[in-house]
Amino acid sequence: MRLTTTLGTLALLVSAAAVQGAGQTAGRTLIELPHARFAIGDDPARAQPGFDDSQWAELSTLANYEKQGFPDYDGYSWYRIHVRIPASLKASVRWPQRLHMYLSSIDDVDQTYLNGVKIGETGQFPDDPQGYATRWNALRDYYVDVATGLVHWDADNVIAVRVYDGSGGGGFYRDMPTLGMAEIVDGLQLDTARSRIEYQPTSFSARLKWVNTFPVALTGKMDYDVYDAVAGKVQRHASAPFSVGANAESELAVEAPQRAGIELRFRFTETRTGAATETVYHAPYLLTPAESPRPQINGALVLGARAGSPVYYRIAATGKAPLAYAVGALPAGLSFDADAGVISGKAPAAGEYRLALEVRNALGKAQRTLTLRVGDQLALTPPMGWNSWNAYGLAVDADKVRAVADAMIATGLAAHGWTYINIDDGWESAARAADGTISSNSKFPDMPGLSSYLHERGLRFGIYSSPGPLTCGRFLGSIDHERQDADTYAKWGIDYLKYDLCSYETLMPKQPALADHQAPYRLMGAALAAQPRDIVFSLCQYGNAEVWKWGGEVRGNSWRTTGDIEDSWHSTKEIIDSQHLSAPYTKPGHWNDPDMLVVGEVGWGGALHPSRLTPDEQYSHISLWSLLAAPLLLGNELTRLDAFTRNLLVNDEVIAVDQDPRGLAARRAWNQDDWQIWVRELADGRHAVGIFNFGEQFRTLKIAGLVPELGAGAALRDLWRQRPLAPLTDNSNVGVPAHGVLLVAVGIAGAASDGK
């Protein structure tokens, strides 16, 4: 389809523009690429410079093609950008060896050619030997060695981009693609994933790993400031010679205080060219105190089940090993494995049962009541666990899932209530059996075996499908087989289904009525309800038609309120900014799901990297999700859990906010000047209050009276640090780092009311 013929493809020359991305020097000449020619379909000839694209549509590169006249198109397409590259570009840098092509993000996969020669590829196409892997949210930074002669200076060049879109938005989006010259230092990157970080009580030390991705040795010096954002000043300056070989790496030992607001501001200057690159490292700091050696029972203390359904409940408990578990008042039909601390069996008749949990060790005992509510409600507290998508994308397989389950226990996360192990997209076989039964593909040779593996460990097993013919990753969906698939899931021992709209969207009327939105979920909801086991139903349709108002009506237990999250502050904050709309609809068994957690190492099936959220952004992320009573589903490579991420995920007082049995979400009670205060009523009569500083600097705020719950005299407890703060006075000032949070409990806990 041709949209316009009048707009020639424009490439703008911008002088001294600011450049994106870390590790680059401002003040360099950039050529902006705001437009491209576009056509759907696929043909290798389109890579060639001489190909005739004069009849193609002219699109902006700043938004998906769906928004520019190609609604609902999934599959192959090509962009072609014609650009004159002036030789003067080379004069704008000191090392004119590499052309830098920044192509922003391309949804989902791309292969990029310059003048007919492939110069970059991100993600995997469906016909790749490894199978399809989307990298819709990766930034594309491609470098072209000018010595290859590929760049036509002072002449026309054609950048041709072959795109494959699996579902949803497709093609270029995000920000301005640009061309410019790289400096010799641009290949230098801080690799925090492989840096060794050690935490002492008040300081941290790290051997930071720097990687040079360019084939040229770098010699120079590294300057760094230890900047204290709380004090607003540089605490210390250090400078040392620093070199790193061609395509090699080097370590740099650093030490800094371990507390909020510490930034290490690096500047590497290369001797020969004088070019410099700057990197800011937000130093991690641990807030959750070390686990007590005394026994402690953690996690959800209210469990919903339907009569006769299988029950699995792992007592989440910490304390110095060995721990001895006991359960009193166990209803008939349930049994208890005292070694594993797992209650299992069949749920008794409808009613409320109060089980006496006890955990002992040499230092003492802990006792708590588990309320088993047998009726028609599941997921009485938000599901907590792990989902494969953000780590492995479509590359998930059974061995990885088993390893994650082992890690869930070995890291101690299960002892804090993390129990679901959910496979996302990518497990389905290419075709159904002759009788229509769905089966798993060769990556999952034995679903019932995997299910037993998880259940024996007291973990729960989740799976994924779509109401359409295909899932978002183009595997088989459940259309016309809803009941059959639900039967299969029950046979396999599935405890949780994520049901993702994907291709069903194209079957819906152009202007869907509410009933059209509900129909596919109603169908699967009924099919799950007919099973002889409890399967938590998680709706994924990105919040369409205000699903929070009707998700419960179609038997949903949770529903996504947003599109997909990414490990960027932009994405996380965008999600945060819409959650006040759905929050009031939260109640036990009916949870808003602002998407999975982006902490730890994530990668969506591509190279894993540590979350790009700063430590403070991660504290805000977990705090807000807990205030919202959101499902807490990790999406990281759990077999490589670093100390910071583990510490972030084992805070029982923060988790208790998420799992609070009253099941009310926080309200956004105050929103001014980039400050937000969220207030959640807790079952014990206290309020959990998150004071978020969404500004760009460390700031202080006088909090008394800003919301009714913050009245002078109120008792305050810092939940991350697990210690009381001085009672609130009219002058109480709290300091919160940029994008960070102070999460407190306000008031005095009344009579314990677990399960109320």
Q: Supply the minimum distance, in Å, between the C-beta of residue 133 and ligand GAL.
A: 10
The DSSP annotation for 58-91 comes to EEETTS-GGGGT-TT--EEEEEEEEEEE-GGGGG
Selecting among 500, 642, 652, 684, the annotated active-site residue is 500
- Give the C-alpha separation, 77 to 70, whole Å: 11
Q: Which is nearer to ligand GAL, 424 or 660 (CB)?
A: 424
Q: Which is nearer to ligand GAL, 212 or 579 (CB)?
A: 579
Of 745, 652, 697, 701, nearest to 319 by C-alpha is 652
Binding site for ligand GAL (CB under 6 A): 389, 424-425, 471-473, 500, 502, 540, 564
- Give the C-alpha separation, 336 to 647, whole Å: 30
The total number of residues shown for the chain amounts to 756
In this structure, what are the phi and psi dihedrals at residue 585, rounded to the nearest 5 degrees?
-90, 0
Number of other CB atoms surrounding residue 289 within 10 Å: 13
Q: Supply the minimum distance, in Å, between the C-beta of residue 544 and ligand GAL.
A: 12
In this structure, what are the phi and psi dihedrals at residue 243, rounded to the nearest 5 degrees?
-140, 155
| Residue 445 C-alpha from the chain's centroid | 28
Residue type, 613: L
Residue 476, beta-bridge partner list? 470
Q: In Å, how far are 469, 478, 520 from 482, measured between CA atoms? A: 11, 5, 9
Question: Would residue 156 show up in a list of annotated catalytic residues for this protein?
Answer: no
| Residue 194 C-alpha from the chain's centroid | 20
Q: Supply the minimum distance, in Å, between the C-beta of residue 82 and ligand GAL.
A: 34
Q: Which is nearer to ligand GAL, 473 or 737 (CB)?
A: 473
Q: In Å, how far are 486, 534, 655 from 379, measured between CA atoms? A: 18, 10, 15
Half-sphere exposure of 123 (CA within 13 A, CB side): 30
Determine contact, residues 220/210, Cβ cutoff 8 Å.
no
Is 754 exposed, middle or buried (CB count within 10 Å of its CB: 0-12, 13-18, 19+)?
middle
Of 700, 685, 694, nearest to 752 by C-alpha is 685
Question: Would residue 175 show up in a list of annotated catalytic residues for this protein?
Answer: no
Q: Supply the minimum distance, in Å, between the C-beta of residue 15 and ligand GAL.
A: 41
Q: Supply the minimum distance, in Å, between the C-beta of residue 409 and ligand GAL.
A: 25
Of 291, 335, 327, nearest to 311 by C-alpha is 335
Residue type, 121: E
Determine contact, residues 104/172, Cβ cutoff 8 Å.
yes
Q: Supply the minimum distance, in Å, between the C-beta of residue 596 and ligand GAL.
A: 7
- Give the C-alpha separation, 136 to 41, whole Å: 19
Q: Which is nearer to ligand GAL, 132 or 325 (CB)?
A: 132
Is 135 exposed, middle or buried (CB count within 10 Å of its CB: 0-12, 13-18, 19+)?
buried
Of 454, 380, 418, 471, nearest to 634 by C-alpha is 418
Selecting among 485, 564, 595, 652, the annotated active-site residue is 564
Q: Supply the minimum distance, in Å, between the C-beta of residue 165 and ligand GAL.
A: 12
Q: Say which DSSP state 88 is in.
A: G
- CA-based Rg of the chain, rounded to a whole angstrom? 27
Q: Which is nearer to ligand GAL, 393 or 615 (CB)?
A: 393
Half-sphere exposure of 75 (CA within 13 A, CB side): 9
Q: Supply the minimum distance, in Å, between the C-beta of residue 502 and ligand GAL.
A: 6
Map tokens 């014990």 to a residue.
684
Determine contact, residues 341/332, Cβ cutoff 8 Å.
no
Q: Say which DSSP state 95 is in.
A: -
Determine contact, residues 488/437, Cβ cutoff 8 Å.
yes
Q: Supply the minimum distance, in Å, between the C-beta of residue 595 and ligand GAL.
A: 7
Q: Which is nearer to ligand GAL, 179 or 630 (CB)?
A: 630
Q: What are the respective helix, strand and coil percentages of the chain, to the nearest 5?
A: 20, 35, 45
Q: Which is nearer to ligand GAL, 325 or 389 (CB)?
A: 389
Q: Which is nearer to ligand GAL, 169 or 348 (CB)?
A: 169
Q: Which is nearer to ligand GAL, 136 or 692 (CB)?
A: 136
- Give the C-alpha separation, 354 to 368, whole Å: 10
Q: Supply the minimum distance, in Å, between the C-beta of residue 70 and ligand GAL.
A: 19
User: E strands within 585-666?
Assistant: 591-593, 601-602, 609-610, 632-634
Q: Supply the minimum distance, in Å, between the C-beta of residue 371 and ligand GAL.
A: 31
Q: Which is nearer to ligand GAL, 389 or 698 (CB)?
A: 389
Q: At what angle do helices 447-456 and 398-410 cross, to 10 degrees?
A: 0
Cα maximum dimension of the chain = 83
Q: At what angle do helices 482-492 and 514-529 cross, to 10 degrees?
A: 40
Q: Supply the minimum distance, in Å, between the C-beta of residue 562 and ligand GAL.
A: 9
Q: Which is nearer to ligand GAL, 270 or 593 (CB)?
A: 593
Q: Which is nearer to ligand GAL, 359 or 472 (CB)?
A: 472
Residue nearest ligand GAL, Cβ-based: 472
Catalytic residues: 500, 564
